[in-house]
């Protein structure tokens, strides 16, 4: 999929997202990075933060993650998070 990437965001509680998207910006331990189609393989530790997923219609969707790992492979991006949920479910008082 040259123009996009397949993403799965998984936490112990649920599969938060599984979709083909244009790009994903991820809070890596060394800083934020963006994954596009045909990205080189990469594995990174995640820091708590927000993942921005831009869908194929160029609409951005934001998800909160609390730690975990990001694995970029030829098949797509897999986020294995300690906790993951859409921004609409994020509560600032929990920080």
Count of the separate structural domains present in the chain: 1
pLDDT at 70 over 90: yes
Longest dimension (CA), the chain: 40
Query: Could you tell me if residue 33 is inside a domain?
Result: yes
Evaluate whether residue 14 is within a structural domain.
Answer: yes
Residue 84 within a domain? yes
* Of the candidates 95, 93, 36, 85, the residue with the CA atom closest to the CA atom of residue 63: 85
Q: Work out the pLDDT band at 1, boundaries 50, 70, 90.
A: very low
Instruction: Please state the rounded mean pLDDT for residues 50-72.
Output: 96
Q: Which domain holds residue 58?
A: 5-90
Q: Considering only CA atoms, give the Rg of the chain.
A: 12
User: Domain of 60: which CATH number?
Assistant: 2.60.15.10
> What is this structure's pTM?
0.88
* Cα dist from 6 to 23, 25, 56, 64, 68, whole Å: 9, 13, 11, 18, 18
Please compute the mean of the pLDDT values over residues 43-54 and round it to a whole number.
Answer: 96
In a domain, 95, yes or no: no
Place of tokens 């934001």: 62
69 domain residue, yes or no: yes
Whether residue 59 is contained in a domain is answered as yes
Which DSSP string do the residues of 31-57 spell out, in sequence order?
EEEEE-TTPPPEEEEEPSEEEEEE-TT
Mean pLDDT for the stretch of residues 5-10: 96
Higher local confidence (pLDDT), 12 or 91: 12
| Residue 74 forms part of a structural domain | yes
Identify the residue with better confidence: 2 or 90. Answer: 90
Residue 38 lies in a domain: yes
Contact 47, 29 (CB under 8 A): yes
């Amino acid at each position: 999929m040259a123009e996009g990437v397949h993403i799965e965001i998984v936490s112990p509680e649920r599969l938060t997202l599984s979709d083909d998207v244009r790009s994903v910006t991820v809070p890596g331990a060394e800083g934020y990075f963006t994954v596009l189609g045909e990205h080189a393989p990469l594995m990174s530790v995640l820091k708590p933060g927000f993942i921005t997923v831009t869908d194929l219609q160029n609409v951005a969707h934001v998800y909160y993650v609390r730690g975990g790992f990001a694995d970029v492979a030829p098949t797509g991006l897999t986020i294995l998070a300690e906790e993951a949920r859409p921004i609409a479910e994020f509560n600032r008082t929990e920080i």
